[in-house]
Amino acid sequence: MSLAEPREHVHAIAERLGGLAESADDTEHIAQVQRLLDDVRRAGFAHERSEYLAAYEAVFERLDDWEHGLSERRYLLGGATPSLADWWLFAALVRFDPVFYGLYKCNRTRIIDQPVLGAYLRDLYQHPGIAATVDFGAIRRHYWLEDSRISPKMVYPLGGVGDLWAPHDRALRFDRKEFDQSAVEEIQTAVRAKGEFVRGQSRHRDRITADGSSGFVGVPGRYHLYVANNCPWCHRVALARSLKGLTDVVSMDVLFYRRDPDRGWQFRPEEEGCTADTLFGSKYVQEIYARVESTEKSVPILYDRETNTIVNNESAEIVRMFNDGFGEHADNAIDLYPTEVRDEIDELNAWIYTDINNGAYKAGFSSSQAAYELAYGRFFAAFERLDRRLRSRRFLTGDRLTEADVRLFPTVFRFDHVYYTRFRLDHRMVREYPGLFRWLRDMVHYPGVMAASNLEHCKRGYYGRTGNNIVPVGPALDFEPAP
């Protein structure tokens, strides 16, 4: 069955979703979509300009109606899930930018550029399993090679799709308008039931400041860091500590790269690259949390010797306070969060965390095929986006390394050696993305980066606790110097 025509595409989607019955409410909406498709075709094959203009106006009048209507509800019928009518509209919209916009000259605006319809299209495309039903190559060939009257060279373009894996706000706007922590936990439980991995939330959230206004002043010898080298969240904290010259200011212990099945993160100083708990002689991280009557068990942990408390265990916040919380005691030649690019860094951090840092875990720890495929698609769409960006600049925001690079690095650093196989993210290796690979090699040779990076612990931590516990030797790739 060809999926190039909208009707066949909708049938394929219905099969993928286990069947979709057409309700009375669907019928009129589906008829409107079919009229849109007729008008698009009339515009494309018009013999007279007046005929083209009439069809053109009809097309965008319908699109404007949907742009307005879908600003007030997530789906056409107002329900919590897409109906058959939504999938008919999806089949039309997904063809608009790569075909109807150029070939049929319906070029007032692209769908991907419209604030409501663009987000609606991305919302449906990212629905589990739906991206697999879209074959843009087949769609382009079907339309662009159909008739030499409107495509005289009989050559079809390769682009025009836009980033359909980009974030959208549809679920947040219409499904989660108001929620407290208990509601968050209910949502996470529901998502887990669908097989999707959900990361827990850190609860120790105090802050170190250079002037001590927070109650925690950044001075040498007061604070101690606990990390595990194989944990990417710990890795970025260790990177910030190294890059900011805080290795003699904030002491650090390194946990064993495998957790105890019952007690969690553990100290094994006899293992190469690991240390004892130099503050308390603990055997497990749980014991450190117990000292402050906490039941948490995650790392990193930033501990305050003076008040005998945990300052913070949220890696993003520790990175930020290592950058600005130690004043003259840090190396201020490097600013990881410069004022002039803070908005850009925040925007980068948001989608890199969602689709790449945490996205790798959503793919690797998913317990359903649909959840895995969704995470897989978003991950590699984000990798493509990064690669394009890094082909024209040294670092993510330009010529200098910032917090955005620090937060991205742990995922990319361990990708070819771990995530490609361990998390089944096997579309391409980093080495196959020229911009991203050049950035990785540059990062590896940036002063202070490799001092905080332990690839062997990464491999042993991810592989040494599953299956037959064999840690693979390869791949045969080392980080060669950047040209």
Given 106, 231, 234, 274, which residue is catalytic? 231
Rounded (5°) CA angle 317-321-323 = 120
Q: Residue 450 gets which letter from DSSP?
A: G
74 backbone dihedrals φ, ψ, rounded to 5° = -70, -40
Given 337, 361, 420, 446, which residue is catalytic? 361
303 backbone dihedrals φ, ψ, rounded to 5° = -110, 140
Q: Do residues 422 and 463 make contact, with C-beta atoms less than 8 angstroms apart?
A: yes
395 backbone dihedrals φ, ψ, rounded to 5° = -120, 180
Within 10 Å of residue 320's Cβ, how many Cβ atoms? 18
Query: DSSP labels for 284-321?
Result: BHHHHHHHTT-----S-EEEETTTTEEEE--HHHHHHH
231 is an active site residue = yes
Torsion of CA 85, 86, 90, 92, to 10 degrees: 30
353 is an active site residue = no
The closest alpha carbon to 326, from 218, 232, 425, 434, belongs to 218
Interacting residues of 474 by C-beta distance below 8 A, sequence separation 6+? 417
Cα–Cα distance, 257 to 272 (Å, whole number): 10
What's the first-to-final CA gap in the chain, in angstroms? 49
What SS3 class is residue 467? coil
Cα–Cα distance, 195 to 336 (Å, whole number): 36
Q: Residue 266 gets which letter from DSSP?
A: B
The set of catalytic residues is 231, 361
